[in-house]
Amino acid sequence: MEKTWRWFGPNDKITLGMLRQIGVEGIVTALHGIPNGDIWPLEEIERIKHMIEEHGMRWSVVESLPVSESIKYVGPDRDALIENYKVSLANLGKAGVKTVCYNFMPVLDWARTDLEYPNPDGTSNLYFNRAEFAYFDVRILKRPGAAEQWDALTIERMNRLAETMTPEKEAKLVENIVIKTQGFVSGNFSEGDANPVEKFRSLLKLYEGIDKDMLRENMKYFLEAVMPVCNEYGINMCVHPDDPPMPVFGLPRIVTCDEDIEWFLNAVPDEHNGLTFCAGSLSAGAHNDVVKFAKKYASRTHFVHARICTVMPGGDFRESSHLDPRLIDVIRTFETVRPDVPMRVDHAPLMLGDDKMGYNAGYSFHGRMLALGMVSGIMATIKQEKR
């Protein structure tokens, strides 16, 4: 696989020069300064591309060209926003940037409750605590009907949690779920939002009455609209699985399991309609067997996220080591059948001073560098075995 790295643009503290030194071949990035829904100008795409190439690497993947909320719930400006999306895609195609990652998750991109969950060795990781997530839903957001949608065990844990909750802990939960995880993904929230909980409520309202089938239809409509541009320029679209792979806040989610993946691939049976194989997001659902999925979906995968989760009894999950045997098997499959597919490591621990640097959640330097070293070692071993 091609060794890539998510770089957050010229303001990223981790520079292109540093990445070149640690064996990165390709860059994964976006035009982070352009508001969601606006056209990505060709000149700006080319400027970033040249910057990357001057450092001896290439712009391998766009992550993400965000799909505006209105395209997902069908707002009045849906078609205008799809037209903008097509122009951005065409500009990327003209510049020769041909793999585009996006997601189709309503309101919230990925979700975690704890961004610095301590490990026994002094490092820390991202963590998803189901009871804390339910607490946010039921007690902070106060979503009507929320309590009835959670299982009895989670509600019991949530009630126990409530006994030790403080306003500070509540504020931290809001910051983790709404601001810190969403602030850098060009989505709905940013640092400094005055009332993120209220904003969250109004976004949820947009989806009233939208069920799974409707969201699927909206995704199909979007993909059918952009496929002609993808065919003209040879662009591969690759949807990121829902993280975690389950419905949240009563919102439908449609890239969560085997049946979902089959559905969207078959609904628009074009080779340019593909998957970002995020082993981490998929493995956060105990129902998903990522080793099996890798074999099944390798041919429609255009981008790989190398990380893996362990689901605990009760449904909490944490990021596991990049040396987890399941991840080794996933890497073996892609290294064997898709040796050129771009791959980036993801969600590595905070270690050796990473916590002082203010990196985006999940995107430490030392942790990711160690993870890339591990994955590179696995890849080299697999190559050697095949000789």
Contacts with ligand DNO, residue ranges (CB under 6 A): 63-64, 101-103, 109-110, 185, 240, 362
> Whole-angstrom Cα distance, residue 49 to residue 44?
9
Is 278 labeled as catalytic in the residue annotation? yes
- Smallest separation, CB 303 to ligand DNO (Å): 10
Task: Tell me which residue of 379, 260, 371, 261 sits closest to 319, measured CA to CA.
Answer: 371
| Least distance to ligand DNO, CB of residue 202, Å | 22
The nearer residue to ligand DNO, 108 or 138, going by C-beta atoms, is 108
Q: How many CB atoms lie within 10 A of CB 257?
A: 19
Say whether 302 is catalytic: no
Residues 6+ apart with CB under 8 A from 206: 69, 73, 75, 107
Question: Which one from 114, 137, 346, 354 is the annotated catalytic residue?
Answer: 346
Closest to ligand DNO by CB, 109 or 324? 109
For residue 318, how many other CB atoms are within 10 A of its CB?
19
**Rg of the Cα trace of the chain?**
20
SS3 263: helix
Least separation, in Å, of the C-beta of 126 and ligand DNO? 9
Judged by beta carbon, residue 110 or residue 150, the one nearer ligand DNO is 110
Cis amide leading into 244 (omega within 30): yes
User: What residues contact residue 304 under an 8 Å CB cut-off, 6+ apart?
Assistant: 1, 276, 277, 278, 279, 330, 334, 341, 342, 343, 344
CB neighbours of residue 358 within 10 Å: 7
Compare residues 14 and 382 and give the one whose CB is closer to ligand DNO.
Answer: 14
Active site residue 346: yes
CB of 292 to ligand DNO, least distance (A): 22
Residue 233 annotated in active site: no
**Shortest spacing between CB 320 and ligand DNO, in angstroms:** 16
3-class DSSP state of 67: coil
User: Judged by CB, which is closer to ligand DNO: 37, or 362?
Assistant: 362
Q: Which is nearer to ligand DNO, 52 or 239 (CB)?
A: 239
In the complex, the smallest distance separating the C-beta of residue 188 from ligand DNO, rounded to whole angstroms, is 12
Is residue 347 part of the annotated active site? The answer reads yes
Active site residue 32: no
Residue 47's region, left for phi above 0, alpha for psi from -120 to 50, else beta, is alpha
Place of tokens 């999306």: 85
Helix and strand element counts for the chain (H, E): 15, 12
Select which of 102, 240, 297, 322 is catalytic: 240
Distance of CA 257 to the CA centre of its chain: 15
Instruction: List the catalytic residue out of 305, 309, 324, 359.
Output: 305
Catalytic residues: 240, 278, 305, 346-347, 363
